[in-house]
Structure 1
Amino acid sequence: MLKLFRATAILEGISYLALFGVTMPLKYWAEIPGPNKLVGYAHGVLFILYVLLALFFWFQKKWSFKLGSIVLIASLLPFATFYIEEKYLKTETRPIR
């Protein structure tokens, strides 16, 4: 499950950056809405999966309120899911607190 969470964190971060850094400008500046719709759907699915996995691990691993909140808030900030993956989800042997 941790590998799935790590992959989701990375893909969610990539989709966030692609959505707001690439496809939104295409949609509004170049009037090409197709990629925005596709990336938007993918980002939505990845965002929901990230939040569900964060809640799952919060309760399963008995994370503190502070850590659980940080992991959830990271889904709202650009580049933050990359930080979470690197700092807290890197290996299964590292204790997650």
Structure 2
Amino acid sequence: MFRTIAFVEGVTTLALFLVAMPMKYWLGNPALVPPAGAIHGAAWLAYLGGMVLLLPGQGLSAWNWTRTFLASLFPFGTFLNDAMLKKAEARIMPSGEADPA
């Protein structure tokens, strides 16, 4: 479930940086910045909430917690961090068991 939240947070970051902001600064049309910014802000808060609610008990080290937080601060960070989260998920979930979320 957290990996899905992280993916959505990453996509909203890219939408803001690669669509809304170029439209504002290159085309002079700022219409998409407020809604894209609000959606991204909500996704980022969901990411932080997901860290607090969904990651405890996943066997993450202090560095992995820090890395997961830092990943939310940089474009593409959540995508780059996904492999580590996937490995952590595989360690705690027996193979063949489907993720319920």
Q: CA RMSD in A?
A: 2.0
The 1-side partners of 2:14 and 2:53 are apart by 25
TM-score by length of 1: 0.80
CA distance 1:32–1:90, shift in 2 (3 Å): farther
Q: Which runs of 4+ in 1 moved over 3 A?
A: 57-62, 89-92
TM-score by length of 2: 0.77
Query: 1:67: which partner in 2?
Result: 64
Match status 1:7 vs 2:4: yes
Task: Show structure 2 runs of 5+ residues with no match.
Answer: 93-101
Task: Show structure 1 runs of 5+ residues with no match.
Answer: none
Question: Radius of gyration: which is bigger?
Answer: 2
- State whether residues 6 and 90 of structure 1, in contact with CA within 8 Å, keep that contact through their aligned partners in structure 2: no
| Cα deviation digits, residues 29-58 of structure 1 (max 9, x gap) | 212111111111100000011011112344
Query: 1:45: which partner in 2?
Result: 42
| Cα deviation digits, residues 68-88 of structure 1 (max 9, x gap) | 000000001111111222331
Match status 1:95 vs 2:91: yes
Sequence identity percentage: 34
